[in-house]
């Protein structure tokens, strides 16, 4: 238990170690520092656990050595959990923070690390856990022993291991650990199917030890049991309500905690972890992720207790991966590594397939009974032209080109060595029989009356044909035709690889692979298919696959008879039920989200019993129920994720492939990738199979339900605190210790900078300094443009009057340009008029200016006294030191004289050179006259360049205004102006850093704060939150919903849209808020009665108004979210169901699947029960009765058949 600092942590949830760092107000020296605060201490803690010597864990700090708060309270690094683990293994640094009054600095420990990788040597497990809370019939793996040891110490533990590695062992031990102490355990799962399965498992495991309960949206069995299984959403609702049942909870087990990555539901996991009481310990079970330490660190920092990570890549049953390509199975990945030769083998197979087949030459004998024959041979060296014979005379009836066409590389193809190749056949003269007898161009004459003529010359062959007695028997060889010769343009309906043909080929290859696995006794197998439609079509297209024995068929029959016994006759006749029974008799099962829950559970149980040996399933089977097989088959490694077609992520592949191999039954698990017609992409497959899994990323977002629940109060948590503790803000939280350290240092630095002591006794520099700072920056960009070569000579010419400054020397002062410095730099030589007096001059102040004129410039020439209180001196400034450019130009001759004074930097020489000094003095007087009379005018740009940006005119006006403001201040003529300005600048710079650091520690730096404010404005516009920020009655009613689009639902209730409606209409209307599936736009909707059409239109109108409000106030919304939140596509089906129609009667009229309809009906019934509480809260008992009757109407038949796991 946390024994110290709990009150501090609860009162300042967003602060890292429970202490406020806000609002010191006015400091001891009188300076106002808005929003500044100092961290004074942390929460106290005590330690009760001792580390073992072999762990080499750091000892906890003793109370005597711990630094103290004012008042004597010891300050340690955060609160510790049971066993003193927080102080035992805290990684801390000491930070010195002096207070504002200059008191001695107090050393404070700031925790740097919250996650610790557990590498404890497991050899001492029996000594550490001499009396285990739960015995196992097998030796635990090292990672299981480490995790069990942490559970025994009641410490947070995150276990990352592959699928089927045995993570459930740790969950079971935590349950037993709590039961032994007379406390409870909550087991959360991401999906309802997994909750049902765990209820069945734990009921058997802890029979006689403790009771097991389950709470889901529609089921509540033993909710007060020692072990309660529920979805994470149910636990969140309990935390928001402040359920008293949480007081006796010892452990919360998060199964599949990597669901925090889920785009839609990941926020729920973060909310629950943030809201859980500090004394509740957590077991988090996750797949392997690369940044598990970062996630564990966030959990530890959020709960103020260390989190121990147990990570293993060990698989109890190793996997072998194969490519199955065109009937051949090739190893791809195993213990020896990745086999790239599999891809080389596929390329060989593909190249063999591409080789042209050997084509047989056809022999034809033609009987000629008259001469002339009517055919002409191809002359040696001639090239025949192919002209279709139907186009004209026999003279053009030639396609000898076909006979001489290029077989390869364009070489003539002649099947024999005969010199007689028919070139033309006369088709017009019936007295010439060759064409009528079928002879065609390209044929080769090889024999005349049985005599071989292939070795004869062309002339000899022609002579033999003429002299042959009639009837003459001529033998021809007909060369094979090239497929490309008569290739017709491909029609859209004649594509070689249509979806139907590809699917047929895929089915045939899958059947062949399954028969191969059956012959090698590698069943059962799970076949992953990434389409519900394809799952069912594949199963239907394999009628000849039968993997069940006679005894197994009998068991299937008995089981299904019992499982479906409670269905009515109409439901038993549903196509899906009949199809499942037919498949199961052959040992085949299907599993996807569109199945009826009862059917899905029946398939799962048969698969776990070995009755179903071939399971065709979507990926949800791998993400939920834990049912491994001997083999896993992927029909594809690309899937459509709702937005695009993409390759599987490494984590997705690992999760599904991990279902291969049953621990204790199989030596290895086999994974097969079924390839299509084309060779697989080697790079793509390599990334999928060998790259690291995706990082855990926060999906935290602000929701209306979150705002309303926390505004309602009851748990003492502010919405800003929840945002600050989210995983999304983890990086910010990790920076907090260093930010606090920097804040303390800056505060100490500010104390060491003295305040400006004005000789006039007035704090005028605080007003003057911002003007000076702005004046230095406002014209920089314009001066850059004016210094370009095409305008520089006109603007920066000798004699030009400027206002310049020099950092560390003097503040902005009027000056005259004397010339340009040498080299490639942009140095300007100027004579500046500065406030001050030379030593010994009349009226010289005794103030402590470091140098004459309040200037520290050691590079300029000697000054001259212009008048009492003013001096002139030459110096150099950079272009960036130019504050303002004026239209006036002074005498160039005086400027040349002043340059001589600049050159004579020796005091004696300068005195001797009266002309030079006189020139500088004259310039100084002229500058003083311009300054005192206000005779300076801004530069006129149209006389200089038309290319200068038009914004420069605004810059000139602003420069003029700043000049006037500065010249009215007494600081402008003060000789201490430069020193006081630098001093003020240092203080303001440090104060600004302090304010920024203070903001980073506060809620102002939260990234989601703008979205929070935007959603709060929407809620205010809807009347759910008042102007004072307090939740209204309407907002309290919305907190009772917590599902669907609670805002639109409340608008419908408050605007009386459902008043006077029958329960049937109400049930149909509510179904729109529980049906998030995408709608086929081409599908026909089930017709609605007119009253229901009115309700539908009103609902859509309110939903559209809220959508416009979201857009108006800048709320970030997924473009598809509005259509999911209020989807009226199910209303017709829901109405017919509420009217008593059977599902079998409804199915022929809809494109939706049975499981989708049933799931939505169950959710609608749950929402109707919540709306009864809303109506009761509003005092509308009539509407409450309608909601009740609507819920009763739809609560019937197959939609609410009890789960097979809970019987």
- Kindly report the number of other CB atoms within 10 A of residue 1103's CB atom: 23
In tens, the pLDDT along 1180-1192 reads 999 999 999 999 9
pTM score: 0.68
| pLDDT value at 260 more than 60 | yes
Return the minimum-mean-pLDDT range out of 613-627, 962-976, 1131-1145: 962-976
Pair 1172, 1063: CB distance under 8 Å: no
Mean pLDDT computed over every residue of the chain: 78
Pair 1097, 1050: CB distance under 8 Å: no
**Average pLDDT estimate for 469-475:** 89
- Kindly report the number of other CB atoms within 10 A of residue 530's CB atom: 19
Q: What is the DSSP letter of 902?
A: H
If we measure between CA atoms, which residue out of 231, 204, 203 comes closest to residue 215?
231
| Rounded Cα gap, residues 1077 and 1075, in angstroms | 6
Pairing of strands 212-215, 220-221: antiparallel
**Location of structure tokens 């959710």:** 1163
Pair 931, 833: CB distance under 8 Å: yes
Pair 1171, 1049: CB distance under 8 Å: yes
**HEC letters along 806-824:** ECCCEEEEEEEEEEECCCC
Reported as a pLDDT band with limits 50, 70 and 90, residue 63 is very low
| Rounded Cα gap, residues 897 and 1148, in angstroms | 105
| Rounded Cα gap, residues 861 and 802, in angstroms | 18
| pLDDT value at 44 more than 80 | no
Q: What is the DSSP letter of 360?
A: P
**Average pLDDT estimate for 939-962:** 70
Backbone angles phi, psi at 283, to 5 degrees: -115, 120
Pair 157, 284: CB distance under 8 Å: yes
If we measure between CA atoms, which residue out of 443, 445, 454, 435 comes closest to residue 481?
443
| pLDDT value at 402 more than 50 | no
Q: Structure tokens of 566?
A: 């409670």
| Angle, vertex CA 420, rays to CA 415 and CA 422, nearest 5 | 90
Q: Which residue has the higher pLDDT, 45 or 618?
A: 618
Q: What whole-number percentage of the chain has pLDDT above 70?
A: 77
Pair 582, 555: CB distance under 8 Å: no
pLDDT at 35: 32
Q: What whole-number percentage of the chain has pLDDT above 90?
A: 25
3-state secondary structure of 1001: helix
In terms of Cβ atoms closer than 10 Å to its own Cβ (0-12, 13-18, 19+), residue 67 is: middle
Torsion of CA 563, 567, 570, 576, to 10 degrees: -40
**Location of structure tokens 């002879």:** 439
Strand segments (E) across 824-956: 827-835, 864-867, 870-878, 882-889
Sign of CA dihedral 756, 758, 762, 767: negative
Beta partners for residue 1069, in sequence order: none
| Rounded Cα gap, residues 124 and 157, in angstroms | 19
| Rounded Cα gap, residues 240 and 719, in angstroms | 12
Q: Structure tokens of 945?
A: 């360049």
Q: Which residue has the higher pLDDT, 37 or 485?
A: 485
**Average pLDDT estimate for 268-293:** 91
| Rounded Cα gap, residues 845 and 839, in angstroms | 9
If we measure between CA atoms, which residue out of 598, 640, 649, 585 comes closest to residue 618?
640
Pair 21, 1001: CB distance under 8 Å: yes
Pair 154, 332: CB distance under 8 Å: no
pLDDT at 427: 82
Backbone angles phi, psi at 1187, to 5 degrees: -60, -40
Pair 997, 746: CB distance under 8 Å: yes
Tally helices (H) and strands (E) across the chain.
Answer: 42, 33
Q: Which residue has the higher pLDDT, 995 or 761?
A: 995
**How far apart are the two ends of the chain, measured CA to CA in Å?**
38
| Rounded Cα gap, residues 423 and 419, in angstroms | 12
Reported as a pLDDT band with limits 50, 70 and 90, residue 961 is confident
Q: Structure tokens of 68?
A: 């103290």
Q: Quick one: the chain helix, strand, coil %, rounded to 5? A: 45, 15, 40
**Average pLDDT estimate for 1035-1043:** 84
3-state secondary structure of 526: strand
pLDDT at 766: 74
Q: What is the DSSP letter of 787?
A: T
If we measure between CA atoms, which residue out of 292, 190, 116, 297 comes closest to residue 696?
292
In tens, the pLDDT along 441-467 reads 888 888 988 888 888 888 888 888 888
Q: What is the DSSP letter of 784?
A: H
Q: Which helix (H) or strand (E) holds 117?
A: strand 115-117
Q: What is the DSSP letter of 628?
A: -
**Average pLDDT estimate for 748-755:** 78
Q: Structure tokens of 282?
A: 């957590």
pLDDT at 132: 92
If we measure between CA atoms, which residue out of 1205, 1127, 1200 comes closest to residue 1162?
1200
Q: Which whole-number Å values give the CA distances from 1108 to 1008, 1038, 1076, 1105, 1180, in the listed order?
A: 21, 20, 20, 5, 29
| pLDDT value at 853 more than 50 | no
In tens, the pLDDT along 200-215 reads 889 988 987 678 999 9
Torsion of CA 757, 761, 766, 769, to 10 degrees: -80
pLDDT at 944: 57
If we measure between CA atoms, which residue out of 140, 163, 142, 115 comes closest to residue 288?
163
């Amino acid at each position: 238990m946390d024994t110290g600092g709990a009150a501090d942590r609860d009162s300042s949830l967003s602060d890292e170690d429970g202490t406020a760092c806000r609002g010191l107000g006015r400091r001891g020296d009188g300076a106002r520092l808005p929003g500044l605060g100092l961290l004074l201490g942390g929460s106290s803690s005590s330690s009760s656990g001792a580390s073992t010597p072999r762990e080499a864990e750091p000892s906890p700090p003793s109370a005597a050595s711990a630094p103290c708060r004012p008042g004597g309270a010891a300050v340690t690094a955060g609160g510790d959990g049971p066993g003193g683990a927080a102080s035992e293994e805290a990684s801390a640094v000491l930070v010195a923070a002096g207070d504002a009054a200059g008191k001695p600095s107090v050393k404070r420990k700031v925790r740097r690390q919250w996650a610790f990788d557990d590498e404890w040597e497991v050899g001492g497990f029996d000594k550490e856990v001499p009396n285990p809370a739960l015995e196992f019939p097998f030796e635990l793996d090292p990672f299981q022993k480490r995790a069990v040891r942490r559970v025994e110490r009641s410490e947070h533990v995150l276990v990352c291991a592959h699928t089927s590695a045995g993570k459930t062992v740790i969950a079971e031990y935590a349950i037993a650990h709590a039961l032994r102490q007379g406390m409870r355990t909550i087991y959360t799962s991401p999906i309802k199917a997994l909750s049902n399965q765990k209820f069945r498992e734990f009921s058997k495991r802890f029979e006689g030890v403790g009771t097991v309960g389950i709470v889901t949206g529609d089921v509540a069995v033993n909710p007060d049991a020692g072990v309660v299984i529920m979805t994470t959403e149910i636990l969140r609702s309990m935390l928001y309500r402040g359920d008293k049942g949480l007081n006796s909870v010892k452990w919360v087990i998060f199964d599949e905690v990597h669901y925090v990555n889920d785009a839609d539901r990941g926020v729920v996991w973060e909310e629950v972890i943030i809201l859980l009481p500090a004394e509740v310990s957590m077991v988090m079970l996750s797949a392997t992720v690369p940044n598990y330490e970062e996630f564990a660190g966030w959990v530890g920092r959020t709960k103020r207790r260390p989190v121990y990570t147990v990570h293993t890549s060990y698989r109890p049953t190793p996997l072998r991966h194969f490519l199955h390509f065109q009937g051949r199975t090739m190893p791809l990945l195993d213990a020896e590594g990745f086999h790239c030769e599999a891809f080389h083998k596929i390329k060989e197979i593909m190249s063999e397939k591409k080789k042209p087949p050997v084509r047989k030459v056809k022999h034809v004998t033609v009987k000629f009974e008259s001469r002339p024959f009517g055919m002409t041979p191809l002359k040696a060296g001639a090239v025949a032209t192919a002209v279709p014979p139907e186009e004209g005379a026999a003279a053009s009836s030639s396609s000898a080109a076909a006979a001489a066409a290029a077989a390869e590389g364009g070489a003539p193809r002649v099947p024999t060595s005969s010199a007689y190749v028919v070139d033309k056949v006369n088709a017009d003269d019936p007295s010439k029989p060759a064409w009528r007898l079928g002879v065609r161009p390209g044929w080769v004459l090889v024999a005349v009356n049985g005599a071989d003529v292939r070795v004869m010359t062309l002339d000899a062959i022609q002579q033999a044909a003429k002299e042959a007695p009639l009837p003459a028997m001529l033998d021809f060889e007909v060369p094979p035709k090239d497929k490309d010769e008569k290739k017709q343009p491909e029609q859209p309906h004649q594509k070689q690889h249509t979806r139907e043909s590809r699917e047929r080929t895929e089915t045939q290859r899958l059947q062949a692979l399954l028969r191969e696995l059956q012959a090698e006794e590698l069943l059962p197998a799970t076949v992953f298919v990434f389409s519900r439609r394809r799952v069912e079509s594949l199963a239907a297209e394999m009628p000849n696959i039968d993997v069940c024995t006679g005894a197994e068929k009998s068991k299937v029959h008995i089981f299904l008879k019992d499982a479906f016994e409670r269905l009515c006759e109409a439901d038993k006749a549903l196509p899906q039920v009949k199809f499942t029974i037919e498949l199961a008799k052959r040992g085949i099962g299907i599993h996807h989200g569109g199945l009826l829950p009862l059917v899905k559970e029946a398939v799962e149980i048969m698969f776990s019993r070995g009755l179903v040996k071939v399971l065709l399933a979507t990926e949800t089977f791998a993400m939920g129920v834990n049912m491994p097989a001997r083999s896993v088959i992927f029909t594809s490694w690309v899937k459509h994720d709702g937005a695009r077609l993409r390759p599987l992520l490494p984590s997705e592949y690992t999760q599904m492939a991990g279902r291969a191999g049953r621990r204790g039954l199989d030596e290895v698990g086999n994974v097969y990738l079924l390839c299509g017609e084309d060779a697989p992409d080697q790079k793509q497959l390599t990334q999928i199979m060998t790259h690291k899994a995706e990082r855990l990323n926060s999906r935290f977002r602000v929701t209306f339900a979150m705002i309303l629940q926390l505004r309602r109060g009851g748990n003492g948590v502010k919405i800003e605190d929840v945002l600050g503790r989210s995983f999304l803000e983890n990086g910010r939280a990790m920076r907090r210790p260093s930010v606090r350290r920097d804040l303390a240092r800056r505060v100490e630095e500010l104390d060491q900078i003295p305040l400006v002591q004005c000789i006039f006794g007035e704090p005028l520099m605080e007003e003057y300094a911002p003007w000076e700072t702005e004046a230095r920056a406002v014209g920089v960009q314009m001066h850059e443009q004016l210094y370009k070569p095409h305008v520089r000579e006109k603007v920066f010419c000798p004699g030009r009057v400027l206002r310049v400054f020099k950092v560390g020397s003097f503040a902005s002062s009027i000056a005259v340009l004397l010339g340009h410095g040498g080299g490639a730099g942009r140095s300007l030589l100027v004579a500046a008029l500065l406030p001050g007096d030379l030593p010994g001059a009349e009226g010289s102040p005794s103030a402590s200016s470091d140098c004459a004129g309040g200037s520290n410039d050691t590079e300029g020439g000697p000054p001259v006294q212009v008048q009492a209180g003013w001096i002139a001196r030459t110096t150099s400034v950079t272009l960036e030191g130019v504050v303002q450019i004026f239209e006036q130009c002074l005498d160039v001759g005086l400027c040349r004289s002043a340059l001589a004074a600049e050159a004579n930097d020796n005091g004696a020489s300068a005195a001797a050179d009266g002309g030079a000094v006189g020139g500088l003095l004259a310039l100084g007087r002229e500058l003083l006259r311009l300054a005192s009379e206000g005779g300076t005018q801004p530069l006129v740009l149209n006389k200089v360049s038309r290319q200068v940006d038009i914004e420069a005119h605004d810059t000139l006006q602003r420069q003029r205004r700043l000049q006037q403001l500065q010249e009215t201040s007494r600081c402008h003529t003060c000789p201490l102006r430069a020193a006081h300005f630098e001093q003020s600048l240092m203080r303001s710079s440090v104060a600004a850093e302090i304010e920024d650091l203070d903001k980073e520690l506060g809620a102002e730096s939260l990234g989601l704060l703008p979205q929070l404010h935007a959603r709060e404005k929407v809620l205010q516009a809807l009347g759910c939150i008042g102007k004072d920020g307090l939740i209204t009655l309407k907002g309290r009613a919305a907190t009772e919903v917590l599902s669907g689009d609670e805002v639109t639902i409340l608008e419908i209730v408050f605007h009386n849209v459902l008043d006077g409606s029958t329960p049937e209409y109400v049930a149909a209307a509510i179904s729109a808020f529980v049906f998030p599936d995408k709608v086929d736009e081409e599908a026909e909707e089930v017709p609605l009665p007119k009253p229901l059409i009115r309700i539908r239109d009103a609902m859509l109108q309110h939903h559209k108004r809220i959508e416009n409000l979201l857009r108006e106030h800048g709320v970030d919304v997924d473009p598809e979210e509005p259509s999911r939140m209020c989807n009226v596509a199910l209303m017709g089906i829901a109405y017919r169901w509420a009217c008593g129609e059977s599902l079998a009667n409804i199915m022929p009229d809809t494109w939706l699947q049975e499981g989708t309809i049933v799931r939505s009906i169950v959710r609608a019934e749950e929402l109707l029960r919540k709306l009864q509480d809303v109506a009761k809260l509003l005092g509308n008992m009539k509407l409450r009765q309608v909601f009740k009757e609507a819920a009763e109407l739809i609560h019937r038949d197959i939609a609410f058949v009890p789960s097979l796991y809970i019987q």
